[in-house]
Amino acid sequence: MIKTGDKAPDFETTTESGDKFSLSAYKGKKVFLYFYPKDNTSGCKAEACSIRDSYSVFEGNDIPVFGVSGGTAKSHQSFKDKNDLPFPLLMDEEFRIAKLYDVYKTKKMYGKEYLGIVRTTFLIDESGKVEGIFGGTEGIEKVKTKEHADQVIKFWGLKL
């Protein structure tokens, strides 16, 4: 279980468009890394659009944003295109990154149990340590999908 103050686990993957990604390449910058359950679902759309609508704040503060989910490159690209998302979606088809961050867990819907990503955001500082967590079991507070960008902006005290 990752807690505030822990070193953020490094990983490599690709973006929805096939570009290579390594978390360690962003050392020296704050990073907004959010895990979402599934492309093209209402809660995930609300969260992504909240971030999209405030993206200029993150960009203006030199904070890269990355969404992580288990969809295919095609589903990620569709989700990104439909919602005009200006940030990369990272590939995690086998949930390797979600497991590394301990956000791939047993969930319940309509009385049935299944494995899936628990909506969780990790705010990583310039030294690569986890500065804040929203959602999951260690979070400061739950992710409010429609207001998530505001939660992060407030936490970091970013200039608008």
44 is catalytic: yes
Selected catalytic residue, list 44, 57, 124, 143: 44
Instruction: Note every long-range contact of 78-86, with CB atoms under 8 Å and residues 24 or more positions apart, other chains counting.
Output: 78/39, 78/40, 79/39, 79/40, 79/44, 79/45, 79/48, 80/16, 82/40, 83/45, 83/48, 83/49, 83/52, 84/52, 85/48, 85/51, 85/52, 86/52, 86/55, 86/59
Catalytic site residues?
44
